[in-house]
């Protein structure tokens, strides 16, 4: 059985009133998702997530310690895929979509971001991240 691994993050920013907005990507394939991508070479999970975030969105981030969530599913027969998600605050860059993979990207309040996500597994990760931030 083939094993794949991707890493990404629930990415957020806060406004001057401490309201959080979460980054949601609409892929060129039509689904709405969180930022993630395949591990390359000998990258660490955080290196993969940071690279994918930069490639897909043009943003740099600061990872929030203590949050790591893993989704495991089968994208096709005889293949298992783990997707590792971290939690990250935007620290720089300008939001720019990678045209090969991202049709649109926007920051949304929690409820709108949750409703926009296509897959229930992404919704669960966003809910976990939002709950984690509320406990800080």
Query: What confidence score (pLDDT) does residue 127 get?
Result: 98
Closest CA to 96 of 106, 87, 86, 88: 106
* Residues 75, 79: Cα–Cα separation, whole Å: 7
* Domain 2-135 architecture: Alpha-Beta Complex (3.90)
pTM, rounded to two decimals: 0.96
Query: What confidence score (pLDDT) does residue 76 get?
Result: 87
pLDDT averaged per 10 residues, the chain (length 136):
95 96 97 97 97 98 98 92 98 97 98 98 98 95
- Which residues neighbour 75 within 8 Å (Cβ) at sequence distance 6 or greater? 4, 81
Query: What confidence score (pLDDT) does residue 132 get?
Result: 98
Domain residue ranges of the chain, discontinuous segments joined by +: 2-135
């Amino acid at each position: 059985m083939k094993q794949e691994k991707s890493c990404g993050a629930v990415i957020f920013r806060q406004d001057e009133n401490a309201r959080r907005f979460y980054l949601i990507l609409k892929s060129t394939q039509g689904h709405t998702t969180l930022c993630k991508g395949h591990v390359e070479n000998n990258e660490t999970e955080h290196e993969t997530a940071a690279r994918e975030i930069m490639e897909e969105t043009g943003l740099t981030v600061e990872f929030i310690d203590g949050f790591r969530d893993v989704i495991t599913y089968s994208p096709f027969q005889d293949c298992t895929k783990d997707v590792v998600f971290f939690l990250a605050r935007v620290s720089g860059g300008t939001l720019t979509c990678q045209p090969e993979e991202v049709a649109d990207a926007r920051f949304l309040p929690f409820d709108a971001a949750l409703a926009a996500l296509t897959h229930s597994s992404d919704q669960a990760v966003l809910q976990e991240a939002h709950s984690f931030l509320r406990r800080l």
